[in-house]
Amino acid sequence: MLHAEWICIVDFGSQYTQLIARRIREIGVYCEIHPFNKALNVIEEKPPRGIILSGSPSSVYDEEAPIIEERVFELGIPVLGICYGLQLFAHHYNGAVDPAAKREYGKAMLNVSPQEALFEGIPEHSQVWMSHGDALSKLPESFQVIGTTENAPICAVRHESRPQFGVQFHPEVVHSEYGTAILKNFAYNICDCKGGWNPHSFIELAIEEIRNTVGSGHVICGLSGGVDSSVAAILLHKAIGDRLHCIHVDNGLMRKGESQEVVDTFRKNFKIPVDLVDAEDVFLTKLAGVTDPEKKRKIIGATFIEEFEREAKKFNQAEFLAQGTLYPDVIESVSFKGPSVTIKSHHNVGGLPEKMNLKLVEPFRELFKDEVRRVGLELGLPEAFIKRHPFPGPGLAIRIPGAVSKEKLELLREVDVIYLEELSKAQLYDSIWQAFAVLLPVQSVGVMGDARTYEYVAAVRAVTSLDGMTADWARIPPEVLERISNRIINEVRGVNRVVYDISSKPPATIEWE
């Protein structure tokens, strides 16, 4: 934890929990997400300015409902309960929660009193976003109603003497017109936060923490060339100078010409030395015949560490390995004993072997992707570099479902180059969060020059997103998709069919594996 002033978001499994964190950080206040069964220990160890209880797919009366210890309501720290979090107040203060007469999913009109601290500056009537099956049927003891909707007469409440508030709607969702203002009122008016969480303050704190962690030691940085590892390298170089040793491992899973481009960029533009390790044969040998995506990730992660440890022996006092791990990586890779489940192992998190000779330095472990980009701009990286789309740690291996081979990798590289070129020509690249091609383990019949073909199918994917936690498929114009398809089929020998992925996250993930 880098910031003394913070808000704790207690996760009960809501699909919107990460959005709460995004909104709180957007208003300049640092926050962290902790699972309901571990949050109280964190809160008591380092008290936050405020506590937000997230929503949940559960009912408070379910046999295995996620319930936080009731001591959290007796600490004197301001609490805001959202949806399920509101229902926890009823559970603690002898209210009642029942299946709502009318389940509410979607927009509703909220009626409030602007005199209330939580609703200061909010119109008396505004649109909010509902997503609940249960609702309060009896007001918790010592609480007052401060907001209603047509179907929820107890839609927002306030404790008569304690700084505790609850709302049935989701202020973190963009469809709640004044949701961010409500969260800002809670953070600043009720929790008395001062703000100041921004890229500049993060850099100052991160440099101090890196120096305290590393001491006089040396750091090996795994420089993939993506935004995360690149910004991390610049930050680390700023903190410890020539005690940073950047290593780029060409694992044979990179995009076309990318490895040499990465090395040249850092050596020439940023004056940071980079060692280039050619490990293509090592990786492809270990991946041969492996089809399970989790196994592929584990093999790639473990092999990366092995290569780094081997390279680290060239440097005196090398004790640390730096990685560009992000907060969504950590959240998705943690399986709580309750509402949240592991979606997939991330290369930077789940792919690490249990025993390694290098200690980890992860300066962005608490940041979202767009926050890292802002830090990069603050550090002086070119905007064009910062706007590059995310590229996964396991590289093209997870864009080839099934077994990976050199032949398939070469095909996918050519497809990917054409796809991104056409998006850039159409001036769509910057408006898309992430775009990439996938080579499917499927061959289909085609006709070229009056001859029958039986070749691979390529899928192209493009999504829009704020932080990668949720995403929608990008609406690329049909004429652009047509050019992409025509070029790929005509120019890449071995691919005779192109399909476009129109799945959102959730239920799909952004990457295919």
Q: Which residues belong to the active site?
A: 83, 170, 172
CA–chain centroid gap for 170, Å, is 20
DSSP letter assigned to residue 41: H
Between CA 4 and CA 1 the distance in angstroms is 8
Phi, psi for residue 161 in degrees, rounded to 5: -130, -15
Beta bridge partners of 165: 80, 158
In angstroms, the first-to-last Cα distance of the chain is 31
Four-CA torsion 154, 158, 159, 162, nearest 10 degrees? 160
Between CA 274 and CA 260 the distance in angstroms is 11
* Among 21, 13, 33, 1, CA closest to 330: 33
* Among 182, 129, 134, CA closest to 158: 182
Between CA 397 and CA 333 the distance in angstroms is 19
* Among 254, 231, 238, CA closest to 304: 254
Q: 472-473 and 451-464: which strand pairing?
A: antiparallel
Q: Map 239-274 to HEC letters.
A: HHHHHEEEEEEECCCCCCCHHHHHHHHHHHCCCCCE
Q: In angstroms, what CA-CA distances link 503 with 291, 395, 468, 507, 512?
A: 23, 21, 14, 8, 11
DSSP letter assigned to residue 233: H
The answer to whether the CB of 247 falls within 8 A of the CB of 230 is: no
The answer to whether the CB of 422 falls within 8 A of the CB of 499 is: no
* Among 469, 511, 361, CA closest to 33: 469
The answer to whether the CB of 110 falls within 8 A of the CB of 155 is: yes
| In 300-433, beta strands by DSSP E | 318-322, 359-361
Phi, psi for residue 233 in degrees, rounded to 5: -65, -45
* Helix, strand, coil distribution of the chain in percent, nearest 5: 35, 25, 40
Four-CA torsion 127, 128, 134, 139, nearest 10 degrees? -80
SS3 assignment, position 50? strand
